[in-house]
Amino acid sequence: MSKPNKTVRTLAFLSLSLVLGACGQNAVTTPSASTGSGQQGVKMPSSLRNASQTPGKWFVELAGDPTGISAQSISGQQAGFRAQAVAQGIQYTEVQSYSTLFNGFSVVASGAEINRISRLPGVIGVYPVRRVDAPKVTVSPNTLAAPEMYYAKGMTGADIAQNELGLTGKGVKVGVIDTGIDVDHPAFKGRIVAGYDFVGDDYGKDGKYVPVPDDNPDDCNGHGTHVAGIVGGNVAANNFKGVAPEVSFGAYRIFGCEGSSYDDVILEAMERSVKDGMQVVNMSLGSAFDDWAETPLAKAGNRMVKKGVVLVASAGNSGANGQYSMGGPTMGDSVISVASVDNIKIDLSSFTLSDSAKTKIGFYTATGSPLPGKGTTLPIAKGPKGSPTVTDDGCDAYEPNSLTGKAVLIRRGTCSFYIKASNAQKAGASAVILYNNAAGYINPTVAPPNPTDPAITIPVVSVSDVDGVKIDSLIAGGVSMTFDGGKVAVNNPTANASSSFSSFGMSAELELKPDIGAPGGNIYSTYPLSTGDGSGYAVLSGTSMASPHVAGAVALILQAYPKTQAKDMRGLMMNTASLRWYLNGSTLLEGLPDYVQRQGAGMVDIVAAYGNTVSATPSKLSLGESDTFATRNKVIVLKNTGPRREAYRAYNYPALTLAGTTLAPVPNQKYATMTVNGQSADADAGVEVVVPPFSELELNVVVTPPAAAPDKAQYGGYVFLQSATSPNLVVPYSGFKGDYQSLQSLGDLIISGKAYNAPLLADDADDALYPEGAALPDMPDYTFKDVEVTYSDGSKDTVMDAPYLVVNYAHQIRTLTFDLLDENGAVVQTLLQNDYLARNCTNDLSKASTSCDAYSLLNWDGKLKGGKDAPAGIYSLRVSALKPLGDASNPAHTEVYTSQKFKVVR
């Protein structure tokens, strides 16, 4: 990799225009609110009604690291907790206890009861057990006669490792914590040596989570089989080989055939994989926005590494939801966190155009629509607004029967894929061709118009932006398409770029994450024989597909160097990674590295890691916030374990700066400067560095944050050590420009298109929400009794008349304190103190879903310590949010909200 030309890099930026997300987390003015029962309140959205009364599942953590204390001590602590809970009359249900990687329990309890549990002696933390959606599995019928992973393996050097270095992963045990593995698939025959099904087929079906465990981790979902195939599937008859085709597998099934799972089930699987002797574990899953190294799964991940297991985890697929969007086990300090890079080729089904060249167009078939019939020929048309520049093509109804018997071309944008397909179907169309409004193909994991009412009954396929424009240009002269049942291998327009869905770091404590990248966009691998199209193979996308590439790479390195310590594996991989360039629209800007906060050290390079004799420690530099320092000094130790003198040129290689807001990041090109050993590393000449054989050398690195970068931006880049004879080395660095504690933690909420000051005091019995600071002509009152409510739509429900708060966490929160105040503002009781909270996915209720929440709830059931009823009187609720890395003694680092006063009526 050569040093980039700075002038070219700067001029290239003039065309950058990428904006992610739709809105920021900025303060807003509360508009006039609708009125409920005489109160100046907001009408309660139906999604919030009664939500506060739903018991939740929680982790309860006790003091003591289970890797450092005896099993007897853990057992005694847990027995003591149970006894105290009984003595105080606390109502909860214990679901599972843990003692290998976590000291504590998962329990089901109401918000009020978990508040009491959090105050018991010996309890050091309570954390919500997050629901983890099974990663979306969208199968396109893109099977080949001789399936293989050639393209992706060539990107990482796995092909050379197998064919020239003789590495296959033989003798290495790799655990896959996922949806299971198809035990009948020939790719894994005789190689699944351990495993367990923690849940059963029906777990999560119809929203019911009743585990029925057994010893058979067979996969009826597909995701786990695909992941395992990437790690090390092997079918000689079909020439299919994963990265490490001779590893042994442990299969740990934590999802049913459909639906979701929970963090506590995942923690069970993590503990069992350690007990089963796995050397590497892959976890292609996680809880987005739970962006802390101190959460239960992240802690457990660190302890796995401490016990000698290399844990590799996906970075997440929440890139569209902005910065600080990672979460789950991937956040562990010692865990290898893997971002996604798009594959260089895509093998697609095809249709043929009737133009003179008989052009073959590759496509994905949308989930929820029927497969195209082979041999079907249709004329292609478009709507009256259709063009390559229109933003809302197909969003309005077409003239009745205007598309009868035709395939209609529709550009992506504005409305959902389902609306576009449904409008075309109502106008008589026989097929729909969706084309992208950005570079490349519509990601098949997010593109499909899922069937609703009415269902889509015509074929819906998606093509690239380039192919869509080409078809559009032919329509005026008359053109038709034929679904010929063929296949086509196409160059991926986004090849070698970071996948747009890959989640952004840093961590909530400004630690650099993710760590490394691997192919994850459009990956061909194994699939259960009983599902999909029955071929046993499928194309999927996600950081779920990137993580097993690295897990397989780790297995190859462990085969070659079996004494490599688990704690050292991440650095070995990161040191020799190769950088990914920024994709501006459809142009890959070579020489301009993509955000460090999205790609980490860059693409894993197995051959370079295998042949490298010089390590750089630490393997990454987390520089914190610039408000507290003018420059940041770091020491990197280069250790040469080889017999040859190694010479490098050290450069500061800046990456794109991540500016904008949390929910709407934008690119910026203001860079940090650097010296190495007192010399400028920004100059084209760099700094000469020589490491003698079998010796160590210190590099004194001084980084000065970019003064011209926007406030609250994340900057970053690389200490880049270029060698003429050996693998280049990279050490990524990342920092925050400005005062980190100036980021807003308690955000506002958009309800029915209007922004309201939040938190909001909720009143189910009055069917109302009261925005922060809103003056109320009448003081709300609460009886803590069940009351029947008749809503404006005529529906009825029975709710508890109790106060609770609806809170939007605009950024992660280090410590949240929830207090009950008396009429004079004095603290009656601390109801809850909770550490390491995740941020919410969005601040707009209309964008919320089961995998993207907009709010969290804080409840009070009218009880005081000991379970006594609070006496009648006037109270209020207060929330104090200590910000990440905040100083509790500095008032500026804590946001405080106090609700309107309310009456307790007895």
Quote the tokens at residue 813: 């929160």
Select which of 185, 223, 226, 893 is catalytic: 223
Instruction: Report the run of H or E that residue 408 belongs to, with start and end.
Output: strand 407-411
β-partners of residue 660 are: 665
Output DSSP code: residue 419: H
β-partners of residue 195 are: 251
CA dihedral 715, 492, 285, 283 (to 10 degrees): -100
**Rounded alpha-carbon distances, angstroms, from residue 729 to 43, 206, 448, 514, 671:** 58, 50, 41, 18, 20
CA-angle at 327, arms to 321 and 329, nearest 5°? 155
Active site annotation includes 811: no
Select which of 544, 619, 622, 745 is catalytic: 544
Residue for token digits 């450069």? 651
Quote the tokens at residue 388: 């390559």
CA 657 to chain centre: 20
CB 422 within 8 Å of CB 453: no
Active site annotation includes 544: yes
Cis geometry, peptide bond prior to residue 706 (ω within 30 degrees of 0): no
* Those residues with Cβ within 8 angstroms of residue 171's Cβ, 6 or more apart along the chain or in another chain: 246, 248, 559, 562
β-partners of residue 863 are: 869
CB 135 within 8 Å of CB 851: no
Output DSSP code: residue 844: B
β-partners of residue 482 are: 352, 377
Residue for token digits 């009456």? 903
Strands 523-526 and 93-98 come out as: unpaired
Quote the tokens at residue 638: 């280069």
3-state secondary structure 772-823: CCCCCCCCCEECCCEEEEECCCCCEEEEECCEEEEEEECCCEEEEEEEEEEC
* Residue 592, Cβ density class (10 Å: 0-12 exposed, 13-18 middle, ≥19 buried): buried
* Helix residue ranges per DSSP H, 427-542: 465-475
Output DSSP code: residue 578: B
CA distance 326 to 293: 11
CA distance 222 to 243: 19
Question: What DSSP string describes 240-295?
Answer: EE-SSTT-EEEEEE-S-SSSEEEHHHHHHHHHHHHHTT-SEEEE----TT---TTS
CA distance 620 to 574: 8
Select which of 178, 264, 291, 835 is catalytic: 178
CB 398 within 8 Å of CB 383: yes
Dihedral sign for Cα 236, 237, 243, 249, please: negative
CA distance 423 to 382: 12
β-partners of residue 667 are: 658
Quote the tokens at residue 484: 């010929």
* Those residues with Cβ within 8 angstroms of residue 706's Cβ, 6 or more apart along the chain or in another chain: 657, 670, 671, 672, 673, 713, 715, 737
Cis geometry, peptide bond prior to residue 451 (ω within 30 degrees of 0): no
CA distance 328 to 544: 13
Active site annotation includes 626: no
R_g of the chain computed on alpha carbons: 28
Amino acid identity at 332 = G
Q: Just list the catalytic residues.
A: 178, 223, 544
